[in-house]
Structure 1
Amino acid sequence: MTAASRSVFRRLLWPLLGLLVLLLGALGAAWYVFWKPNVRPSAFGPAYLYIRTGTGYAAVLDSLRKGELLHDFGTFEQVARWRDYPQQVRPGRYLLKPGLSNAALLTLLAQGEQDTVAFTLDAFKYKPQLARQVARQLETDSVPLRQLLQNNAYLRRRYQLDTTTILTLFLPGPYRLLWNTSAPQFLDSAATTHRRFWTPERRRRADSLGLSPVEVHVLASIVQRETAKKEDKPLIAGTYLNRLRRGMRLQADPTLLWAIGNFGVRRVLNRDKLVDSPYNTYKHKGLPPGPITSANRQSLDAVLKPARHDYLFFCARPGGSGYSDFAVTFAEHKKNARRYQQWLDSLGVKR
């Protein structure tokens, strides 16, 4: 290298080094603002950000601050403004994984990449119980759902059901939904689950029994209230189907308890059988007008695959095992019932 070349090199070296330092500084600043991990780990399990429908950017910032979810709010706000996030707020329930950068977090929020809510819908007897269960899991309030469940015109148009039979739409069990699922969307989701359950094979079984899907649900709800024992469900379903075929009244105690509004009764009295209600199957032949609880899959399949036998009667077995004693004749049934009543007497159960 000549002296002249060395001189030129020395003159350019410092500006180039300065430019390199500036470039590295800019990259470092960009990394700090955009890509440095900014979501704080939580000591209490997964951290979620809930953004309610209709709220805006200010509510997002408020939730992040109150939950102490970020290390540095200033850099988050910088990136949010640069990416125009205040105009792109989308409601939902977002899982904030520890170590997410501002860039990754804002991509998650702006694109609405929600974490779904997994929950189990428990069996319920009354529509308000359903509404409360859903409201505990999802954003929707119980009021809109209760209003829809009481809207005959809507239920008939949308699901070909009414306010009495709408409980047949719901299958207890696992659900996985977005947190901001609305009341109409929840009903549609339940209808989808219902359609999947009612396969062509199950519909053929219902037809062979002379029952519609709604009637299967109604009978299954009675079976479900009669016993929690898997082995007894098909036996009880078969007994009720035998009675229906013979034109006998079902005389199902659970429907009577529905009619008097007290499922806690252990001893049904004769005066209970006088209640004036279409659910009183001691008075009225056939199935009641609607289900007395939301029937689960096990109870529904017990009706669709009933045990074949000649039983016409059954009653709870003494001892509290949850099983039942079955009988072909009324005389045999009276003996079984007397043993059960004597067992209740021994416990001092009056009601």
Structure 2
Amino acid sequence: MNKVASSHSPNRRWRWLGGIFLAVVFVLAGTGLYAAWRVRWKPNVAVSPFGPAYLYIHTGSSFQAVLDSIRRQELLQEPETFVWLAEHREYARQVRPGRYRLEAGLGNDALLDKLMNGEQDTVAFELNAFKYKPQLVGQITPQLEANSTTLRALLQDDSFLRRRYQLDTTTVLTIFLPGPYRFLWNTSAEQFLDSAAAVHRRFWTPERRQRADSLKLSPAQVHVLASIVQRETAKPEDKPIIAGVYLNRLRQGMRLQADPTLLWAIGNFGVRRVLNKDKFVDSPYNTYKHKGLPPGPITSANRQSLNAVLKPAAHDYLFFCARPDFSGYSDFAATYAEHRRNARRYQRTLDSLKIRR
């Protein structure tokens, strides 16, 4: 009996040791798998109640600059695991600029794939009508990486504008069409101008160019006239009629005498009543003093205003005046005498309301 027991004890010991070994292996394997999961796949983007976060990487940024931004904005739950994997995958050699959307549930491996492949999120915004270059710069540079100083300089660089777009520092404003735009965040000032010019080219179809030719206007001149029409009225029904008035005046060699051009020249579009002294302002935009179109647009004309110029109403009107009911519509006249009657009605309403300016 003793011999039998002693003969089996080594086997029991080996089984016991084997069990411990397997347990250790399983523990180590489990620990390794957990470590791999934690470093590579565990959701690491910090959850925010305000929606997805964004990581902005400026052009020329180093790996350290990216880490500083991540830590400063507290974008990750465990930045140290991201650092370890980023170093292992040599992310420092492939830092790409852009605006990256960080969704909750994103792990380090997927995040590095996004960053290293340059899978950045685009920026969508509405370009609103503007009257002066600083207003354009003020709309664009907060949205994109484009440098405001560089953009201002390019808009004033006559040689660059003529070479690149066949425009000058005044007519360059005709290439900007108000409306929705979508850009990569790291778009430069020069790339922004190229994109705006591309939108402008797509607008000017062969049919629209033919219409401009039939009016004896260049595309830039259409933009200038459309900008005046746009400042004169917001009513779609009146735009083609007003465009027709100005085209009639141009054909007859009359001065446009457009009040909005005076307001652009004096830098005050809040004026409700143009005074005689305004008509003497020394500016090429003063269409009371100078014949023809002003040298550039007084606002960025939208598609509706441009199409109103390209498809003007046919009539004999040479004058128009805002209606005294402040409806936004205008009264039109073919003779100066009729126009004077319309103008007096409007002026009497302004007087009754004590509107002096």
- TM bin, normalised by shorter chain, reads over 0.9
One-letter amino acid of the counterpart of residue 102, structure 1: N
2:252 is aligned, of 226, 238, 246, to 246
**After the TM superposition, which of the residue ranges 184-193 and 319-328 deviates more from structure 2?**
319-328
Residue number in structure 1 paired with 2:3: none
Aligned to 2:93: 87
Q: Does structure 1 residue 97 correspond to structure 2 residue 103?
A: yes
**Whole-angstrom distance in 2 between the partners of 1:178 and 1:92:** 7
* Corresponding residue of 2:265: 259
Separation of aligned partners in 1, 2:234 and 2:51: 35
Query: How far does residue 21 in structure 1 lie from its aligned partner after superposition?
Result: 4.2
Count of aligned pairs between the two proteins: 348
Structure 2 CA distance, aligned partners of 1:333 and 1:312? Answer: 9
> Are residue 199 (structure 1) and residue 205 (structure 2) matched?
yes
Report the counterpart of residue 36 of structure 1 in structure 2.
Answer: 42
Post-superposition Cα deviations, 1:233-254, rounded to whole Å, max 9, x if no partner, equal: 1111111111111111111111
Q: CA deviation at 1:16?
A: 5.2
**Letter in structure 1 aligned against 2:343:** A
Asked if residue 183 in structure 1 is aligned to residue 189 in structure 2, the reply is yes
Q: Which amino acid aligns with 1:107?
A: D
2:235 pairs with 1:229: yes
Match of 2:73 in 1: 67
Amino acid in the other structure paired with 2:295: P
Q: What is the one-letter code of the residue matched to 2:319? A: F
Which of the residues 61, 76, 81 maps onto 1:55? 61
Separation in structure 1 between the aligned mates of residue 36 and residue 267 of structure 2, nearest angstrom: 66
Give the TM-score normalised by structure 1. 0.94
Letter in 2 for 1:228: A
Mark the runs of 5 or more structure 2 residues left unpaired by the alignment.
1-6
Equivalent in the alignment of 1:168: 174
Counterpart for residue 84 of structure 2: 78
The letter of the residue matching 1:258 is W
Larger Rg: 2
3-state SS, counterpart of residue 191 of structure 1:
helix
Show the counterpart of 2:30. 24
1:293-323 deviations in Å (ceiling 9; x for gaps): 1111111011011111111110111122111
Describe the superposition over 1:59-84 as per-residue Cα deviations: whole angstroms up to 9, x where unpaired: 21122122221111111111111011
Partner of 1:140: 146
SS of 1:265's equivalent in the other structure is coil
What is the CA–CA distance in structure 1 between the aligned matches of 2:19 and 2:270, rounded to whole Å? Answer: 91
Q: What TM-score, normalized to structure 2?
A: 0.93
Aligned-residue CA RMSD in angstroms? 2.0
Q: What SS does structure 1 have at the residue aligned with 2:180?
A: strand
SS of the equivalent of 2:142 reads helix
